[in-house]
Amino acid sequence: MATETLIWLLPLPPLLAFFIIVLFTNKNKKLSHIVGVSAAALSWAGAMVIFFRSLGVEHFGEHPFTDSVKWLPLGNSWLEIGVRIDPLSAAVLFFVGITIFMIFLYSVGYHNFGQPKGDHDKFGLPPHGATVEDENGHKHVVPSVEPMYSRFFAFIGLFAAGMYTLVISDNLLTLFVGWEIMGLCSYLLIGFWFAKKSARNAGIKAFITTRIGDVFMLLGLAFLYSTTGSLQYEVIFSEEMIHALASVDVGFLGLSAAGAIGVLLFIGAVGKSAQWPLHVWLPDAMEGPTPVSAMIHAATMVSAGVYMTIRIFPLLSAGWDGHTLTPAMSMVAFIGAFTALFAATIAIAQNDVKGVLAYSTISQLGYMMAAIGIGAYVAAVFHLVTHAFFKALLFLGSGSVIHGMEHGVLHTGNHDLDPQDMRNMGGLYKKMPVTFWTFLIGGFALSGFPLVTAGFWSKDEIFADAFAHGHLTVFITLALAAFLTAFYTMRQITMTFLGEARTPEAEHAHETPWTMTTPLVVLAFFAVTYGWLGIPEEFPGLGALSSNWFHHFVGHTLEHPLPTFEFSWIPLITSFTVSLGGLGIGYLTYRNYKAGAVDPMKKLLGPVYHFIENKYYFDEAYNYLFVKPAIWISEVFTNKMDQGVIDGILHSFGKAAFAIGTVIREKFDKPVINEFIGDGTAEVVQIFGRKLRKVQTGRIQEYMLSAVGVLLIIFVALYYLVLA
Amino acid sequence: MIPISWYLVLAAALFSIGLFGVLARKNAVAILLGIELMLNAVNINLVTFWRYNAPAEVTGQVFAIIVFAVAAAEVAVGLALIISIYRNRKTIVADDLDMMKW
């Protein structure tokens, strides 16, 4: 098959799976997951074929796979849509395909396929477990299958279709379409257990918060389309167009038209990739099932924001001479670096095993944004890919831990215990060896454990770039964030897996089935080896063995050559220090953590810890600044405007009519009619009214029927009387 | 090119299906769906006449987009009404909602 045709077909299998599951197989759980998982496998296979074919093309950056069709006629012009796989999208496609496939597979085990139906499980609530009797007549409580199993696969299928659409797009329009499909799926899947109030609220919060970003993004798209007349990458990112856009001044903050469009689009990415100040939705999104957290809120959807920002890099960097950052770039760098540090500080005080990972995701996305902001976009792509692997691994690992803990909860029957709280864990390395070792690999990759893990190479590249180009503020901020990252990762590993079990539930935890552990092993493989593709050639010792394939492959996406820089020991030593230091201090602080003990950091930080633990009170602040006023306005409108003014006007009409009626009755009816004519008229009216009131049935459809009938009569009459 | 009448027949058919739904279905949500079908039939007409009569302008499309937007707002209001009715009367069968009669 021609590669272009294959690219067009890529989003199709998951999309079809969505419709097949919703329309036909939703009653049959087995058939539903077969459809879902095989669709994901097909798309993954297609993505791999495209990826490996792209490796065979010489100068792939200048000759990407492209194909487009005319889609929407607009007067004299056409809106064109199409597909494009260039080095950047090929690299993204690679990890998107693998992570999506792995997460589909994992979901089968996560939702307890093969287990009996729950005793009193309801739609919209997580499964509570089922009682089974073994051959000896002993009753056991075992996990029960998710009641909305088929629906889950339908939703993630639609999500996968959205992500593939986004990656293969050759224009910002279809990218935006995929973007919004994912936004919808994110809402549906966060609120998957819709009978829980917290999940419902989290879904609404995620949807509304990302919508704020999307409105700005849409404005950016409109601005871009109105100035250039196209949304295709090829046209808008061409040398002349960028130059033309860069020379227009919009008269706001010193931004050129290119910069203004870039900033508007970037705000969309801020919402999607949960950057400060729109980060608040991502931690709450952990209400959804864990495969969702892994897929949407760590590996793919939140990466979409970074991917788009990398795409629009030519707009952000228009007019950049390689030294002084453009205003748009400084803004991206500031938001990214600030978010990286800010989210990392929150993560050290979280006790929910997924909560730590949520803030860690925000922080790592901040890294990528900061890297784009300082012009190191290849490093950003590299970190995007490695992060997707290890963060998906960590999320799936945490899901496995929660699953194991739920096993313990079912065993002891203590349903008040939170199976996600790390304070209740400990010693799980004995119970769940596969989960432990893969989680350790993921955690070390996230901390940037030197030389071995992928996270080290990608982070090191960002450090080196920031240092070499003299962006010292960004460099120091990111180094601090990296230190905190290593610290909270080790805290998490120590509290969860090491030491002794702190609750009886943790003692009865159990390793999860193969459908859950296989994805962990596969992702752990990539979390280590992928980094070796991007070892810089200048690196002492190892550099001689490496060809820095990744840098050369992705670097040619944009036409102008990348600035190169000299090797320096300072960022490398920093990188070693922060990761090993953070890991070591994290281990030493938490190795003796006992059940019910006060968190060691709490003793150290005192009131500051309280502040961090409550996420700097951002939720509360937004509640007072935005949510409360919105509710207040709607209350004013209902009570004062609608019931007061509008109803008041209507009531005064009524009163006026009543007053006029009274006057007529007193002055005319009683003295004149009653005196001279008598009751005859009234009786006639009453008779007619009795007969006619049957027409007024109160049934709206009968009214409509008569309205349609009368209209027909009028039309027919008009036609024959006037026209004929 | 496909003759204009084909599109008009399609639109008329869609409109009639929608009208039938509005008049015959008992579920208020289905009635709302019927209204949507009728609106979309109008959209087809608008776009058809634009394409055949004045393809150089974008007026027909702009009209259709306005209809979309209004239809979306209308559905939002309609569904809110239905939910509110359901909360008060525990039914959304149109025939049971006969509070407005004598």
Inter-residue contact A68 to A362 (CB < 8 Å): no
Tokens of A456: 């080290």
CA dist A18 and A672 (Å) reads: 76
- What's the pLDDT band for A569 if we cut at 50, 70, 90? confident
For residue range A494-536, list pLDDT tens digits in order.
888 887 878 887 778 778 888 888 888 988 998 888 888 877 7
CA dist A364 and A337 (Å) reads: 10
- Asked if B57's CB is within 8 angstroms of A698's CB, the reply is no
Residue B60 forms part of a structural domain: yes
Inter-residue contact A383 to A367 (CB < 8 Å): yes
Tell me: pLDDT of A560 over 60: no
- Angle, alpha carbons A563-A569-A573 (nearest 5°): 120
> What is the H or E stretch that residue A447 is in?
helix A433-447
Residue B64 forms part of a structural domain: yes
Q: Is A696 on the interface with B (CB under 8 A)?
A: yes
Inter-residue contact A145 to A139 (CB < 8 Å): no
Residue B102 forms part of a structural domain: no
Point out which residues pair with A69 in neighbouring strands: A81
- Asked if B99's CB is within 8 angstroms of A74's CB, the reply is no
Q: Is A76 on the interface with B (CB under 8 A)?
A: yes
Q: Is B102 on the interface with A (CB under 8 A)?
A: yes
Residue B66 forms part of a structural domain: yes
Q: What is the pLDDT of residue A77?
A: 76
Domain residue limits at B82: 4-96
Residues of B in contact with A700 (CB under 8 A): 94, 97, 100
Task: Tell me which of A327-341, A595-609, A610-624 is least confident.
Answer: A595-609
* Nearest chain B Cα distance for residue A201, angstroms: 19
CA nearest B47 in A: which residue? A73
Closest alpha carbon to A147 in A289, A34, A23? A289
For residue range A259-276, list pLDDT tens digits in order.
888 899 999 999 988 888
* Nearest chain B Cα distance for residue A531, angstroms: 48
Q: For A347-368, what is the mean pLDDT?
A: 89
- Asked if B56's CB is within 8 angstroms of A76's CB, the reply is yes
| Pick among B1, B23, B26 to test the A interface (most A CBs inside 10 A) | B23
Residue B101 forms part of a structural domain: no
- Asked if A708's CB is within 8 angstroms of B19's CB, the reply is yes
Burial code (b: 16+ CB inside 10 Å, e: under 16) for A380-414 equals bbbbbbbbbbbbbbbbbbbbbbbbbbbbbbbbeee
The CATH number of residue B81's host domain is: 1.10.287.3510
Inter-residue contact A44 to A101 (CB < 8 Å): yes
Q: What is the pLDDT of residue A412?
A: 79
Q: Which of A696, A700, A708 sits opposite B94 (nearest CB)?
A: A700
Q: What is the pLDDT of residue A563?
A: 60
Q: What is the pLDDT of residue A423?
A: 82
For residue range A142-159, list pLDDT tens digits in order.
788 888 888 899 999 999
Count the domains in chain B: 1
* Nearest chain A Cα distance for residue B27, angstroms: 11
Residues ≥6 apart with Cβ < 8 Å to A614? A620
Q: Is A699 on the interface with B (CB under 8 A)?
A: yes
Q: How far is CA A345 from CA A356, A360, A367, A608, in A?
A: 10, 9, 14, 11
Q: What is the pLDDT of residue A291?
A: 86
Q: What is the pLDDT of residue B43?
A: 93
CA nearest B100 in A: which residue? A698
Q: What is the share, in percent, of chain A residues with pLDDT greater than 90?
A: 18
Q: What is the pLDDT of residue A561?
A: 57
Residues of A in contact with B102 (CB under 8 A): 693, 696, 698
Q: For A589-593, what is the mean pLDDT?
A: 80
Q: For A454-475, what is the mean pLDDT?
A: 85
Burial code (b: 16+ CB inside 10 Å, e: under 16) for A54-91 equals beebeebbeebbbbeeeeeeeeeeeebbbbbbbbbbbb
Q: Is B47 on the interface with A (CB under 8 A)?
A: no
Inter-residue contact A263 to A328 (CB < 8 Å): yes
The phi, psi pair for A434, rounded to 5°, reads: -65, -45
Q: What is the pLDDT of residue B95?
A: 79
Tell me: pLDDT of A28 over 80: yes
Q: Is B96 on the interface with A (CB under 8 A)?
A: no
DSSP secondary structure of A253-314: TT-BHHHHHHHHHHHHHHHHTT-TTSTTHHHHGGGS-HHHHHIIIIISHHHHHHHHHHHTHH
Burial of A319 (0-12, 13-18, 19+ CB in 10 A): middle
- Asked if A699's CB is within 8 angstroms of B98's CB, the reply is yes
User: Dihedral of CA A626/A627/A630/A632: which sign?
Assistant: negative
Q: For A3-13, what is the mean pLDDT?
A: 89
Residue that is written with structure tokens 């119970």 in the block: A431
CA dist A497 and A591 (Å) reads: 10
Neighbours of A547 (CB within 10 A): 11
Q: For B5-27, what is the mean pLDDT?
A: 93
